[in-house]
Structure formats: C-alpha cells, structure tokens
Amino acid sequence: MWHGWGGLTEPIVDHESEGLDMARPRRLNRAGLKRLGRRCLIAAIVLAVIPVVLTFLYLPSFVHPVSTLMLKDLATFSGYDRRWVSIDDVAPVLANSVIMSEDGQFCFHRGVDLGELRGVVDDALAGEATRGASTITMQTVKNLFLWSRPLGSVRKAVELPLAVYFDAVMSKRRIMEIYLNIAEWGPGIYGIEAAARHHFGVSAKQLSRRQAALLAVSLPNPIARNPAKPGPGLRRLANLIERRAGRSGAYVGCLD
C-alpha cells in the first residue's frame, strides 16, 4: 500500500504479514524434510527385507540364484556363461581347495570368523596394513545381494549381520553350492562348471587336484589371475593349497 503526501509517496510495510510469510516456507521445508526422511526409512526397510525373503526362497536345491554381477552383465548386454551344477557333481577336491584357500574355518564359524575379524581390527588400530577377513558366507551374501565398490565400509557393515543370518538359515553344504555356482572365475565366467570347461576343458566333476587348487587360488582376483596360465606366484600358491586340501580332514566335514 502506498500513502501520498505532498507529492511524495512511501510504502507502508505490513511487518506482521511479512513475518508470517517468512515463517511459512520454513514450516514447509521442515515438512518436506520429514517426508523425505520417511521415504528414505521405508526404502531402507524394503532393501533390508529383500535379502531376508530371498534367503528363504534360495533354500530349495532346485532354485538357482544369480549374483548382482551377473545381473549387471545382463543389464549392460555383456552376457555371461554360467551353468548351474549340483554340489554332488563337483569334484570334492575343488570344494576342499576353496575352503583351504578362502576360509579354513568355514565349517566352524557362524558366518563370520570372529578371530580373523579381531585380528583385522587390531591391525587397523595399530596402524598396520589389514588383511582380508571375508568368509565364504560373507562373499556369498555380497555376491547375491550387495556390491563391491564404492562405499566398501558401508557394505561391510551390512554384510556382517547378513552373513550371520544367512548361515543361521542355510546349511553349510547349500551355502557352498550357491557360492561355487555364482563365484566369478574370469570375465563373464560364473560358477565352477563354466570355469572348469572354460579354463581346462573338463566338467567340474572331472577336475584334478592340481586344477582344483589353481581355480581356488585364482578366486581373490579372477580377472587378473588365470588358472589356465599361472605365473610362478600362482603356481606356488596352488602347490600350498593342493597340500592343504589333501590334509583337510575335519576342516571340510560339514560338506559330507
């Protein structure tokens, strides 16, 4: 509103109304943040429920799960080779070699190897280089439900309780069967049957002790490590795992 006097005009400002107008956007912003917070919470709950439900769906042996990497390959039209095979049709020495290479306490822990985990924490607190503490169960849930990069620390925080839950619901034998069928053994090569045929031209059931050891030691870095063309370092690791697999005994008893 404008008042005129003596040819001069000046605005009359309603300060009370102005204050109300300034307060209204703040209230709207708070309401918007609350709605966003509720939506984020609902999304987090849904994402948490998905692996819980899928774990039960994956219990029967006739269900053949796929990994998040396999889904990525499908989404990017890269394609992949995976041929599901029962653990009964995998050479026992292969599973034994994988346990002795990847997770020697697989048959005894409950999804997470607390001894190894404490060692990693102690090394980190001491400022020393940390070693890997992922169990086969942790790697299985990561491959099935999670991601590799980025936000590795966030993933680990989710991976630990999920591995404990997965181990509580599934038998060790079924966990190993799923792991061997979703593990990556080269670009676009998933599962032990496809890996055995791709690298050695044999079925998973026909793998020799040497071939099994080479496949096992290539798992930590299957893109860079080629079990069919091992370098000196990979051959030395394979020799060690081959000896350990031959003396595995009770370490692999949960697969019987």
pLDDT at residue 70 greater than cutoff 70 = yes
Model confidence at 5, pLDDT cuts 50, 70, 90, reads very low
Residue-wise pLDDT for 181-240, tens only, equals: 999 999 999 999 999 999 999 999 999 999 999 999 999 999 999 999 999 999 999 999
Model confidence at 1, pLDDT cuts 50, 70, 90, reads very low
Alpha carbons 222 and 11: distance in angstroms, whole number: 75
Which residues pair with residue 9 across a beta bridge?
A: 4
pLDDT at residue 158 greater than cutoff 90 = no
For the ranges 88-92, 128-132, 244-248, 249-253, the lowest mean pLDDT is seen at 128-132
Contact indicator for 234, 219 with CB cutoff of 8 Å: no
pLDDT at residue 16 greater than cutoff 70 = no
Q: Report CA 222 to chain centroid distance, whole Å.
A: 15
What's residue 2's pLDDT?
Answer: 46
Model confidence at 120, pLDDT cuts 50, 70, 90, reads low
Angle (CA) 124 216 137, round 5°: 55
Residue type, 222: P
Count of residues in the chain: 256
Alpha helical stretches, state H, 151-250: 152-169, 172-182, 192-200, 209-218, 232-246
Q: In whole numbers, what is the pLDDT of the chain averaged over residues?
A: 84
Q: The pTM is what?
A: 0.81
- Look at residue 82 and give its three-state secondary structure: strand
